[in-house]
């Protein structure tokens, strides 16, 4: 037990170090943006008719703490970030945690659901395609996974929009109907959300599934030919029981290990899919912050949160792996 705690603590420490490095990258990026928050805010005020002088900008800088050295501001930012506080948005002058709040969880839920569905499909399909000798099954599965790789999610989203506009006369976009957009959560709102959220889940899951099938297939076909599988079948274990108990269990480890990177890949696609489907969640807020308003505080917060959830997943999968894989378990439990 002590060894396990030690292992968990090391992993947690590593995760935090990674997050600190990531925060450095993100924070430096935010600093690279031409113009800072004070200038941006006062430029906005300028358009409202009030006269702004250089002294005003300096005063605003002092108020926001922008006059302090780089390292001090980074330290402050990261301490706040770990508490879930990202300060105020540069443009909207509203608290970022409040602006993001629900939207970030919706994004996370959509991405995790598509990841889950991807593996629910990929594990049986990958096992079948690795063990089946039929060329029809193999080639058609190969074609599907190639299409998943070659057709990036945003092109798929565009195609679905095109198709549904022609056939149904509705482009199937958005996450909520008009009447529920700002309503509080209720049963009706949840149903409305689910009736629209399946499309982004499907689109994000599309290439994730293709990748997952490839991974499962490669791992399984490596394992199926090994001697321990032959030995098990010599002892009389056959069929599904053989596959599930021997090679499938063996290839589970690398799959659990790769979950974090799969989530990374889904996050890559999220903003663009969100833009096309006009979803009102974190991905589209990120694009808005970057492409339209140059809101570095908001963009930094979103990228940091996305990365933090990947680091979190990596940590959890490490722990799960330690618990499920007897080899790892033994090495840490002693």
**Nearest approach, Cβ of residue 170 and another protein (Å):** 10
First vs last C-alpha separation in the chain? 9
Q: What are the two backbone dihedrals, phi and then psi, of residue 247, each rounded to the nearest 5 degrees?
A: -65, -35
**Nearest approach, Cβ of residue 308 and another protein (Å):** 9
200 binds another protein (CB under 8 A): no
Q: Which of 140, 268, 324, 331 lies at the binding interface for another protein (CB under 8 A)?
A: 268
Compute the distance between CA of residue 196 and CA of residue 181 in angstroms, rounded to an integer: 12
Q: Which of 105, 146, 185, 244 lies at the binding interface for another protein (CB under 8 A)?
A: 146
299 binds another protein (CB under 8 A): yes
HSE (CB half, 13 Å, CA atoms) of 14? 12
Q: Which of 203, 311, 321, 322 lies at the binding interface for another protein (CB under 8 A)?
A: 311
Contact 242, 296 (CB under 8 A): no
Q: Which of 144, 161, 172, 320 lies at the binding interface for another protein (CB under 8 A)?
A: 161
118 binds another protein (CB under 8 A): no
**Nearest approach, Cβ of residue 207 and another protein (Å):** 10
Provide the b/e sequence for 140-172 (b: ≥16 CB within 10 Å): ebeeebeebeeebbbebbeebbeeeeeeeeeeb
Total number of residues that touch another protein (CB under 8 A): 49
Nearer to another protein, 5 or 43 (CB): 43
Q: Which of 291, 323, 324, 326 lies at the binding interface for another protein (CB under 8 A)?
A: 291
Residue whose token pair is 């009030």: 50
Compute the distance between CA of residue 63 and CA of residue 142 in angstroms, rounded to an integer: 59
Residue 93: closest CA among 21, 40, 46, 24? 40
List residues near another protein by CB under 8 A.
Answer: 17-18, 21-22, 25-26, 29, 32-34, 146-147, 149-152, 154-155, 158-159, 161-162, 165-166, 171, 260-261, 264, 267-272, 275-276, 286-287, 290-291, 294, 299, 302-303, 306-307, 310-311, 314
């Amino acid at each position: 037990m002590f060894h396990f705690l030690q292992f968990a603590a090391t992993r947690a420490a590593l995760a935090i170090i990674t997050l600190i490095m990531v925060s450095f990258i993100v924070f430096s990026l935010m600093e690279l943006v031409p113009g800072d928050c004070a200038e941006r805010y006062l430029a906005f005020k300028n358009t409202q008719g009030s006269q702004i002088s250089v002294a005003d900008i300096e005063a605003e800088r002092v108020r926001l703490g922008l006059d302090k050295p780089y390292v001090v501001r980074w330290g402050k930012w990261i301490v706040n970030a770990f508490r879930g506080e990202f300060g105020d948005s540069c443009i909207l002058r509203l608290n970022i945690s409040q602006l993001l709040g629900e939207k970030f969880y919706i994004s996370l839920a959509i991405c995790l659901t598509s990841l889950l569905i991807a593996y629910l499909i990929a594990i049986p399909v990958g096992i079948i395609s690795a063990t089946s000798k039929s060329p029809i099954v193999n080639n058609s599965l190969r074609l599907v996974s190639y299409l998943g790789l070659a057709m990036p999610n945003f092109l798929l989203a565009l195609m679905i929009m095109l198709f549904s506009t022609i056939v149904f006369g509705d482009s199937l976009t958005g996450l909520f109907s008009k009447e529920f957009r700002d309503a509080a959560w209720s049963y009706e709102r949840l149903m409305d959300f689910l009736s629209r959220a399946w499309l982004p889940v499907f689109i994000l899951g599309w290439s994730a599934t293709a990748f997952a099938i490839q991974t499962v297939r490669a791992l399984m076909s490596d394992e199926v030919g090994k001697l321990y599988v032959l030995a098990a079948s010599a002892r009389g274990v056959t069929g599904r029981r053989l596959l599930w108990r021997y090679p499938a269990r063996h290839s589970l480890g690398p799959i659990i290990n790769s979950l974090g990177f799969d989530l990374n890949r889904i996050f890559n696609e999220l903003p663009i899919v969100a833009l096309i489907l006009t979803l009102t969640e974190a991905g589209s807020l990120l694009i808005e912050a970057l492409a339209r308003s140059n809101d570095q505080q908001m963009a930094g917060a979103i990228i940091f949160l996305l990365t933090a959830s990947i680091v979190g997943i990596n940590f959890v999968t490490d722990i799960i792996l330690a618990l499920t894989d007897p080899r790892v378990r033994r090495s840490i439990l002693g």
